[in-house]
Chains A and B, each alone.
Chain A
Amino acid sequence: MGVMMKTVRAGLLAAVSGVSLLAMAAPGAYAAGMPQLDFHNPLVTGQVIWGAVIFLGFYLVLSRVMLPRVGRVLEDRSTRISSDLEVARAAKQDADKAVAELQQARKDALAEAQANLQKALDEEQRASEQKMQEINARLASEISDAEQRVAAEKVRAFAALKDIAADTTQALVTRLTGSAADAALVAQKVEGASAHRTL
Chain B
Amino acid sequence: MAGGSGIDVLGQFELRPVLGGLGEALRFSQSPLYMLLAVCLVLAFLYFGMRPAAVVPGRFQAAAEVCYEFIRNMAVDTIGPEGAAFFPFIFTLFFFILAGNYIGLLPFSFTFTSHIAVTLGLALMVFVLTVIVSLKVQGFRFFAHFMPAGASMALAPLLIPIEILSFLSRPVSLSIRLFANMVAGHVMFDIFASFVIMLAGFGVVGDVFAIGPIAINMALVALELLVGVLQAYVFAILTCIYLREAVAH
In the bound assembly, the distance between CA atoms of A18 and B171 in angstroms comes to 14
Minimum CB–CB distance from A157 to chain B (whole Å) comes to 112
Which residues does chain B contribute within 8 Å of A57, judged by CB atoms?
39
**By the criterion CB–CB under 8 Å, are A71 and B13 in contact?**
no
Given contacts A19-B121, A46-B28, A47-B29, A7 and B133 within 8 Å (CB-CB): yes
Query: B28–A1 contact, CB under 8 A?
Result: no
Interface SS of chain A: helix, strand, loop or mixed? helix
* Complex contacts, A178 vs chain B, CB 8 Å: none
Q: Is A105's beta carbon under 8 Å from chain B?
A: no
| Interface assignment of A44: CB less than 8 Å from any CB of chain B | yes
- What separation, in Å, do the CA atoms of A62 and B114 have in the docked complex? 24
> B117, A1: Cβ atoms under 8 Å?
no
A66–B191 CA distance with the chains assembled, in angstroms: 40
From residue B197, how far is it (CB to closest CB) to chain A in Å?
20
Cross-interface CB contact of B124 among A18, A45, A63, A74, cutoff 8 Å: A18
- Cβ A62 vs Cβ B88 within 8 A: yes
CB contact under 8 A between A11 and B133, given known A36-B116, A43-B29, A47-B32: yes
Measured CA separation A41–B114 after assembly (Å): 16
- CB neighbours (8 Å) of B29 from chain A are 43, 46-47
Q: What's the tally of chain B residues with a CB closer than 8 Å to chain A?
A: 57
The yes or no answer to B207 lying at the interface (CB within 8 A) is no
Would you call B125 and A47 a contact (CB within 8 A)?
Answer: no
Q: Which residues of B contact A51 (CB under 8 A)?
A: 31-32, 35, 112, 118, 121-122
Encode A3-37 as 1/0 by CB contact (under 8 A) with B: 01101101110111011001100000000011111
A80 lies within 8 A of chain B by Cβ: yes
Closest residue of A by beta carbon distance from B47 = A66
- The answer to whether A73 and B116 touch across the interface, beta carbons within 8 angstroms, is no
**A100 and B69 alpha carbons, distance in the complex (Å):** 44
> CB-nearest residue of chain B relative to A9?
B89
CA gap between A19 and B171 in the complex, in Å: 12
- Asked if A69 meets B10 with Cβ closer than 8 Å, knowing A8-B89, A18-B124, A58-B96, the reply is no
Contact of A70 among B50, B129, B132 (CB under 8 A): B50
**What is the interface size of chain A, counting residues whose CB is below 8 A from a CB of the partner?**
52
Would you give the shortest CB distance from A7 to chain B, in whole angstroms? 5
In the complex, chain A residues whose CB is within 8 Å of the CB of B183: 36
Q: Are B53 and A15 in contact (CB under 8 A)?
A: no
Residue pair A34, B13 in contact (C-beta under 8 Å): yes
Q: Is B238 an interface residue (CB 8 A)?
A: no
With A48-B121, A52-B121, A77-B55 known as contacts, the answer to whether A15 contacts B88 (CB < 8 A) is no
Give every chain A residue within 8 A of B31 (Cβ-Cβ). Answer: 43, 47, 50-51
Of B15, B50, B85, B124, the residue contacting A47 (CB under 8 A) is B15
Cβ-based interface call for B87 (8 A): yes
State whether A76 touches B55 (Cβ < 8 A).
yes
The answer to whether B46 has its CB under 8 Å from any CB of chain A is yes
Decide: B114 and A63 in contact? CB cutoff 8 A: no
Task: Give CA–CA (A80, B57) in the complex, Å.
Answer: 14
Collect the chain A residues with CB atoms within 8 Å of residue B128's CB. 11, 14-15, 18-19
Q: A41-B15, A47-B31 are in contact. Are A1 and B50 (CB under 8 A)?
A: no
Query: What string of 1s and 0s marks CB contacts (under 8 Å) between A51-66 and chain B?
Result: 1101101110111001
Chain B positions near chain A (C-beta within 8 angstroms): 10-11, 13-17, 26-29, 31-32, 35-36, 39, 42-43, 46-47, 50, 53, 55, 61, 64-65, 68-69, 82, 84-89, 91-92, 96, 112, 114-118, 121-122, 124-129, 132-133, 136, 179, 183
Q: List 5 A-B contacts (CB under 8 A).
A: A1-B84, A8-B88, A52-B121, A55-B125, A66-B50
Given known contacts A50-B27, A62-B43, what 6 new A-B pairs fall within 8 Å (CB)? A35-B15, A46-B29, A46-B32, A47-B115, A47-B118, A61-B43
